[in-house]
Chain A
């Protein structure tokens, strides 16, 4: 059996090759392996290239999203993220070429062509995205050529997304999505775009979050040209190159697009987060600072921050009293979100005892290390055994993660908060912070945990 690098108090083993992806703060020297493909045979919580592309582009609600492959890839991604739209709902339908055995043998190009033409005729979308899945990469369909052919025929942009599942990690899927999106940028008229304008990148409008954020910016006097991928519209993306600044949320998803727009259109970008009072306020101030030649923007920003913080502080204080000293474990997709969560949880008086991500890079983990207290476990691409092991050892009271993590937390008798795409209420912005605090309080202090078999006798070493 592989020896564990961290001092184990449970009997759960760690795969030897995984040791360099686990770090306990306070143990020198720091060396974290990450960004590597998951080990064959590991029970990782990660997904594939296609998944990355699909989640990024899916909220563009007036585009057609056609998945070229066997039915599964379309079925599993059918409206599973609550990315809200204020208008068209075409993104909530699931379109698939549903490749069959004979298509795999003879190729699926014809099928793709006919499917595209029929769908575009029926639904009149503003653009179409065609996602390649694993099998398409193997049978060698020339998806780009078919897209071009259809584009010529129907006169709307038909964009191939090169998202064959095996060609990397979810991060590569983000890149493929950005590449497809970039084709749209620059096509629209920007003559009426204000010089005090931004695009919101990396915001998916889960639970209506993009609406909250957009409202702040508009109240500041900044025009939002495109929210890109949150309640997104093709025409907005097409004129997004008219914005003066790209404001990028999340660690990986949309940075590539921001970089491409910087290079081609000279639009600078800043990275922000909208989770927690501190980061949300910084995001607004950073944007205001960018437009420093208009001091009234900064003035308004100060007012907004002051009003919003004042509005939520009394209740947050109360919640903080109840949560003081409770312990949280975080396992999220992008590491950037973990930073915000750590700050937000600290604001609520909680200690973060485990912080992990599926797709963090070296710089992310260094930042995590610097932020975390001694003894905190830092994980890259963890599996359920590792997660449960450290939750036990660190006696966490709360687990923040995604869909696969929720039942693990519940089985162990601790609270859970979905900070992934299954959250149903907005957690971004100031009201989002309040929602977050309420949700954390609700689950951590729930009386139902009294029914859980005592964690002390639940497993070896569980009592510390």
Chain B
């Protein structure tokens, strides 16, 4: 029993988090920045921060993850980090030669009060930023929000720094898609769907071919993928923006609307049938295109799989832990196939409105659904100890709970440290929905096979 120290009895905790279902903002900023082509993320803080972020991202994506640090010392912490950041900018452009440096702050630099725009301006004035090279920044204090908000903040910074509206107000026939913190494979799948519909899109950030790149026999600091600066500029003259996931993508979409008058729609992540339908439908409307037969067939296949599988799903109690945008769509999907989310926890302080959306999504579940926003995985485990579930969906850390309580388990979300594949196979869109269902059913039926004795083991299930 790995988590034998988890008590079944629940005592209210105010002062502490045990087994977090979140991590801090900077790692989200780093992941978002990696979705800009030729970008070197830069952590303005101690060395440890970026070492941890790089390690965590490496463990999850199984790819080299590049970033630089201001390497704060005691001196910098007393006198401010300006000298460090200036030196860093100079060193980075000299040696690592990125097209862009994306600076994010940390608890340390935020608390001592470093003014990043002012430092960037000074670097510019001192001639430390070569022509056609850029430095952008996002404020990501670790004691506010979570890794999801960090992602949202850096994505918004892309808009703040680059998006430009045409002076005449003319709009291009492109649609911006802000995918949220999803896998590179999901970003690719969303682009594929749009391409099937013959919609020209600008996706930002875009980690396809950055964090799921091919094996080339060569280490490259800046892989081929990522949104280019030119695309980020052009996002300001797109005819519309689709923000997928209110928490991760909403802020950037709204900023783009305010700055460049690009109207935005903030949708759920396209996970599952309904939310993919909505995505396809709104994309169709904005771009003024028809849904091609190819997508209709994919949709039909998903529905076909759902009907084939529904007999195993009925009434199954599911425990869900993860990031808010994913959880909401996932919950809606599970309810739509007759499963019953019983416990839902995100570590991100996603707000009352979000919690209400989860309540609405689970309104038809025939028992009281436990929801905690923000909560932690210790509480999640305690709930499960109180009353079991038939399936757990969560990141790798939920494995311990699944193991201790002997519950079928589907890995989903961030981080996944102990399996390979998530960065190559999507879970968004109709095809992603099929893959998700396959995983869920495999978990449930593998368990059934395992538990069946010789007499009751069946070949055909």
Binding site for B on A (CB under 8 A): 1-2, 13-15, 17, 37-51, 66, 69-80, 88-90, 92-101, 103-104, 110-112, 114-115, 118-119, 122-123, 133-135, 137-139, 165-169, 384-385, 388, 403-404, 406-408, 410-413, 451-455, 458-459, 462
14 new A-B contacts, CB < 8 A, other than A14-B95, A40-B70, A165-B108, are A49-B46, A75-B24, A93-B378, A96-B16, A97-B16, A98-B20, A103-B143, A104-B141, A118-B15, A166-B46, A385-B221, A408-B64, A408-B219, A411-B217
Nearest-Cβ distance from residue A312 to partner chain B, whole angstroms:
30
A101 touches B19 (CB 8 A): no
A111 and B15 in contact, given A72-B27, A135-B107, A403-B55 (Cβ under 8 angstroms): yes
Known contacts A37-B71, A40-B85: A385-B5 contact under CB 8 Å: no
- A75/B20 contact (C-beta < 8 A), A44-B71, A408-B219, A451-B215 known: yes
Which B407-455 residues sit within 8 Å CB-CB of chain A?
Answer: none
Given contacts A48-B48, A72-B27, A407-B62, contact A166 B77 (CB under 8 A): yes
Given contacts A51-B52, A118-B11, contact A411 B216 (CB under 8 A): yes
Is the CB of B301 closer than 8 A to any CB of chain A? no
Using A40-B87, A49-B48, A75-B20 as known contacts, say yes or no to A134 and B106 having CB atoms under 8 A apart.
yes
Taking CB atoms and an 8 Å cut-off, the chain B residues in 16-75 that contact chain A are: 16-20, 22-24, 26-27, 40, 42, 45-49, 51-56, 58-59, 62-74
Contact status B47-A43, CB under 8 Å: no
B96 contacts chain A at the CB level, 8 A cutoff: yes
Question: In whole angstroms, what is the CA distance A442 to B95 when docked?
Answer: 36
B143 touches A410 (CB 8 A): no
- In the A-B complex, list the 3 residue pairs whose CB atoms are closest, starting with the nearest: A48-B48, A72-B24, A41-B88
Give the tally of cross-chain contacts (CB within 8 A): 269
Q: How far is the CA of A78 from the CA of B20 in the complex (A)?
A: 9
10 contacts between A and B (CB under 8 A): A49-B46, A51-B51, A66-B16, A76-B52, A93-B6, A96-B18, A166-B45, A404-B64, A408-B219, A453-B217
- Contact A138–B77 (Cβ < 8 Å): yes
Residue of B17, B42, B49, B73 near A98 (CB, 8 A) is B17
- Is there a chain A Cβ closer than 8 Å to B209's Cβ? no
Q: Are A135 and B143 in contact (CB under 8 A)?
A: yes
- Return the contact of A94 from the options B14, B19, B26, B91 (Cβ within 8 A): B19
Q: Is the CB of A2 within 8 A of B142?
A: no
B2 vs chain A, min Cβ distance (A): 6
Question: B149: shortest Cβ distance to chain A, in Å?
Answer: 12
B18 near A95 (CB under 8 angstroms)?
Answer: yes
Nearest-CB residue, chain A, relative to B417: A80
- Chain A residues with CB below 8 A from B76, complex form: 166
Q: Which residues of B contact A (CB under 8 A)?
A: 1-7, 11, 13-20, 22-24, 26-27, 40, 42, 45-49, 51-56, 58-59, 62-74, 76-77, 83-85, 87-92, 94-96, 106-108, 111-112, 141-144, 146, 215-221, 347, 378, 397, 400
In the bound complex, what is the Cα–Cα distance between A151 and B26 (angstroms)?
Answer: 34
Q: CB-CB < 8 A to A453: which residues of B?
A: 215-218
Partner of B24, one of A70, A97, A110: A70
Residues on B with C-beta less than 8 A from A14 are 95
Cβ-defined contact, A48 with B47, below 8 A: yes
Partner of B89, one of A41, A47, A111, A455: A41
Question: What CA separation (Å) do A118 and B10 show in the bound complex?
Answer: 12
Question: How far is B69's CA from A13's CA once the two chains are assembled, in angstroms?
Answer: 19
Note all chain B residues with C-beta closer than 8 A to A100. Answer: 143-144
Q: Kindly list chain B residues whose C-beta atoms are within 8 Å of the C-beta of A458.
A: 216-218
Q: Are A41 and B68 in contact (CB under 8 A)?
A: yes
CA distance A133 to B46 in the complex (A): 10
> Do B51 and A39 touch across chains, with their CB atoms under 8 A apart?
no
Indicate if the CB atoms of A137 and B17 lie closer than 8 Å: no
Residues of A within 8 A of B65 (CB): 404
A407 touching B216, Cβ below 8 Å = no
- Nearest residue, chain A, Cβ from B76: A166
Instruction: Check A40/B52 contact, CB under 8 A, given A70-B142, A93-B18, A118-B11.
Output: no
**Cα distance A38–B47 in the bound complex, in angstroms:** 8
Query: For the complex, what is the distance from the CA of A165 to the CA of B63, rounded to whole Å?
Result: 26
Contact yes or no, B77 A384, CB < 8 A: no
User: Min CB distance, B367 to chain A, in Å?
Assistant: 28
Closest to B88 in A: A41
* A95 touching B16 in the complex, CB below 8 Å, given contacts A48-B49, A72-B142, A134-B108: yes
Closest to B397 in A: A78
Greatest chain B CB density within 10 A among A2, A103, A110, A411 is at: A411
- Closest Cβ of chain A to B454, distance in Å, is 34
